[in-house]
């Protein structure tokens, strides 16, 4: 028997939400940036302990603030994956406050914070206060380009769903 | 005793020998090139493969390099010569449409003849009774019966998450779970964007297809239909969907069971 779970990727424009999903579902990466309009949905099945879990991945268009996202897209989600770009501080400043607001509205949903573009780590000021505070709360550092930590992120989510 | 001439000659040899050798080598290369150019076969053997190579490369690159230019030129030409193109295509398209309409009328005529010839059948009597009790004209019921509306696919979808609870499909097109997700996203977007309060999206039309959506509290049922979707058919479909909800959906425990019930009801 299989179960289906809805995972919504959230974050600023150009942080790599679409690339992360593409890397996970089709093992592909393209450096051509195409902005997501509205929502795009993809699916990947993961086998966890003889149980097939369908991960329905909602790739939502980037926004500057979580409040700008259509609430209807968030309803019924089993997990939120907040994505920021480690090389662009604007994508993670104030993110934690926004996430706290959403946690209250969705108490039964899993929350994950990921810092994407790990391949650009050399360009990051790792001593800045903003980076230090976000990295403390970050669950995974990923690279959609190299595929680093993408599979573990979704496999761990699937594992948590199967519990 | 060596003469003066010999000494000069020896000096020249020592000083100019290298230049002379170079000149002779150049002369020889020039002769070879002259021979190559003058002998067609020789030239063909040397230049032919290079031309073929570049020709092949060029052929491969034509769609990429010349495609946009050709498309733009064609668009411009079509734009400029609209009337000529319409004159040329009109008779062909006209004939095709005429033939199609004739065929469809023939089919409709055959069906009406069949209905008229069987006017004293049980089905006809049932139709008359239905007309009396529902108030719908008998001819409307006949037309509705003739419209040949087909249910192509049925999806039972969890309202908020868009997760598929069960489905029935006559065709195996795209992934049903992705489709139910996208359908939910479209539905949510329309309902959210228009801020219609309790109003919910009920139908989506595209070409000859209609997607009819029947909303329930925690889920909705989307039915993909082909053909005429009139009020008579809608009424019957609503009844069927309510029956499905009351009798089958509540009793079904898994996606497989829901899908089986849908298949039994709509196939």
Contact A108, B227 (CB under 8 A): no
CB contact under 8 A, B178 and A76: no
pLDDT, position A116: 96
Strands (E) across B56-159 are located at: 150-158
| Of the listed ranges B18-22, B26-30, B83-87, B151-155, the one predicted with least confidence | B83-87
- Euclidean distance between CA atoms B84 and A2, whole angstroms: 59
Q: Which residue of A has its CA nearest to B185?
A: A73
Q: Taking every pair of C-alpha atoms in chain A, what is the biggest distance, in angstroms?
A: 48
pLDDT confidence bin for B196, thresholds 50/70/90: low
Q: What percent of chain A has pLDDT over 90?
A: 64
Q: Say yes or no: A58 contacts chain B, CB-CB below 8 A.
A: yes
Whether A86 shows a pLDDT value over 70: the answer reads: yes
What backbone torsions phi and psi does residue B255 show, to the nearest 5 degrees?
-60, -35
Q: What is the spatial distance between Cα B115 and Cα B129, in angstroms, rounded to a whole number?
A: 16
Residues from chain A contacting residue B257 (CB–CB below 8 Å): none
H helix or E strand, kind and range, residue B214? strand B209-215
Residue B50 has pLDDT above 60, yes or no: yes
A-B interface: how many C-beta pairs under 8 angstroms?
56
Across chain B, mean pLDDT equals 83
Q: Going by C-beta distance under 8 Å and a sequence separation of 6 or more, which residues neighbour residue A45? A: A2, A52, A53, A54, A55
Q: Per-domain residue ranges for chain B?
A: 4-62, 89-142, 150-266
Cα–Cα distance, A44 to B181 (Å, whole number): 13
Instruction: For residue B227, give every residue at least 6 positions away whose Cβ sits within 8 Å of its Cβ, in sequence order, or none.
Output: B147, B148, B149, B150, B208
Backbone φ, ψ for residue B212 (5° rounding): -100, 130
CB A39 within 8 A of CB B162: no
Confidence (pLDDT) at B64: 81
Compute the Cα dihedral for A120, A121, A123, A124 and give only its sign: positive
Interface contact B188-A72, CB threshold 8 A: yes
Task: Kindly report, residue by residue over A3-12, the tens digit of the pLDDT.
Answer: 899 999 999 9
Is A56's CB within 8 Å of B162's CB?
yes
pLDDT at A1: 61
pLDDT at B60 over 60: yes
pLDDT digits (tens, 9 = 90+) for A13-58: 999 999 999 999 998 888 777 778 888 999 999 998 888 999 999 9
Average pLDDT (B153-181) is: 88
CB–CB of A71 and B160 under 8 A? no
User: What does the alpha-carbon distance between residue B227 and residue B210 come to, in Å, rounded to a whole number?
Assistant: 8
All residues of chain A having their beta carbon less than 8 Å from the beta carbon of residue B185 are 38-39, 41, 58, 73
Longest Cα–Cα distance of chain B, Å, equals: 147
d(CA B89, CA B122): 50
E strand map for chain B = 150-158, 164-169, 203-206, 209-215, 219-226
Using a pLDDT cut of 70, give the percent of chain A over it.
99
- Domain range A2-162, CATH class: alpha beta
- Residues in B touching A75 (Cβ below 8 Å): 160-161, 188
Predicted TM-score (pTM) of the model is: 0.66
pLDDT at B146: 66
Q: In the numeric block, which tokens belong to residue A14? A: 């150009």
- Report pLDDT for B163: 93
pLDDT of residue B138: 75
Q: Position of tokens 């679409």?
A: A18
Q: Do A76 and B160 touch (CB under 8 A)?
A: yes
DSSP per-residue letters across A13-69: TTSSHHHHHHHHHH-----------SEEEEEEEEEETTEEEEEEEEEEPP-SSGGGS
Lowest model confidence (mean pLDDT) among A53-67, A126-140, B133-147, B198-212: B133-147
**Are B152 and A30 within 8 A, CB to CB?**
no
Quick one: average pLDDT of B180-208? 83
**What is the reported pLDDT for B66?**
82
Show me where the domains of chain A are located: 2-162
Mean pLDDT of chain A: 91
A37 touching B (Cβ < 8 Å): no
Nearest CA-CA distance, residue A162 and chain B, Å: 16
For residue B9, name the pLDDT band (cuts at 50, 70, 90). Answer: confident
**Residue B1 predicted with pLDDT over 60:** no
CB contact under 8 A, B161 and A77: yes
Look at residue B251 and give its three-state secondary structure. coil
Q: According to the CATH classification, is domain B150-266 in 3.30.450.70?
A: yes
Q: Where does the pLDDT of residue A82 fall: very low under 50, low under 70, confident under 90, or very high at 90 and above?
A: very high
Helix or strand holding residue A155 (H, E): helix A150-162
Kindly tell me if the per-residue pLDDT of B16 is higher than 80.
yes
**pLDDT tens-digit series, residues B69-115:** 888 888 888 888 888 887 888 778 888 888 888 787 777 777 777 76
Q: Do B182 and A70 touch (CB under 8 A)?
A: no
Tell me the Cα Rg of chain B: 41
pLDDT of residue A81: 96
Interface test with chain A among B157, B160, B256, by most A beta carbons within 10 Å: B160
Q: Are the beta carbons of A71 and B185 separated by less than 8 Å?
A: no
């Amino acid at each position: 028997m299989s179960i289906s779970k809805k995972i919504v990727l959230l974050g600023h424009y150009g942080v790599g939400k679409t690339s992360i999903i593409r890397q996970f579902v089709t093992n592909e990466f393209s450096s051509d940036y195409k902005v997501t309009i509205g929502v795009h949905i993809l699916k990947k099945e993961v086998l966890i302990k003889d149980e097939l879990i369908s991960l329905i991945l909602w790739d939502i268009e980037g926004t500057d603030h979580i409040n700008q996202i259509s609430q209807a897209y968030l309803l019924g989600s089993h997990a939120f994956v907040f994505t920021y770009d480690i090389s662009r501080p604007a994508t993670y400043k104030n993110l934690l406050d926004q996430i706290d607001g959403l946690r209250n509205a969705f108490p039964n949903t899993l929350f994950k914070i990921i810092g994407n573009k790990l391949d650009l780590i050399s360009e990051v000021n790792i001593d800045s206060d903003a980076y230090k505070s976000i990295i403390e709360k970050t669950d995974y550092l990923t690279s959609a380009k190299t595929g680093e930590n993408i599979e573990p992120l979704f496999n761990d989510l699937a594992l948590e769903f199967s519990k | 005793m060596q003469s003066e001439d010999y000494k000069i000659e020896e000096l020249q040899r020592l000083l100019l020998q290298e230049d002379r050798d170079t000149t002779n080598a150049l002369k020889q290369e020039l002769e070879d090139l002259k021979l190559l150019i003058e002998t067609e076969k020789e030239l063909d053997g040397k230049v032919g493969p290079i031309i073929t190579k570049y020709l092949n490369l060029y052929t491969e690159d034509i769609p990429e390099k010349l495609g946009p230019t050709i498309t733009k030129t064609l668009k411009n030409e079509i734009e400029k010569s609209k009337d000529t193109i319409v004159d040329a295509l009109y008779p062909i398209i006209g004939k095709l449409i005429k033939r199609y309409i004739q065929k469809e009328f023939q089919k409709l005529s055959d069906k009406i003849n069949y209905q008229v010839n069987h006017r004293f059948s049980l089905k006809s009597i049932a139709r008359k009774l239905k007309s009396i009790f529902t108030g719908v004209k008998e001819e409307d019921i006949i037309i509705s019966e003739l419209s040949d509306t087909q249910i192509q696919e049925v999806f039972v979808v969890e309202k908020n998450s868009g997760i598929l609870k069960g489905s029935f499909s006559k065709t195996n097109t795209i992934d049903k779970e992705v489709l139910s997700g996208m359908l939910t996203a479209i539905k949510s977007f329309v309902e959210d964007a228009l801020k219609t309060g309790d109003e919910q999206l009920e139908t989506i039309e595209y070409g000859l297809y209609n997607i009819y959506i029947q909303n329930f509290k925690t889920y909705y049922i989307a039915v993909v239909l082909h053909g005429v979707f009139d009020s008579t058919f809608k009424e019957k479909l609503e009844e069927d969907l309510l029956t499905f909800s009351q009798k089958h959906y509540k009793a079904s425990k898994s996606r497989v069971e829901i899908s089986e019930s849908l298949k039994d009801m709509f196939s």
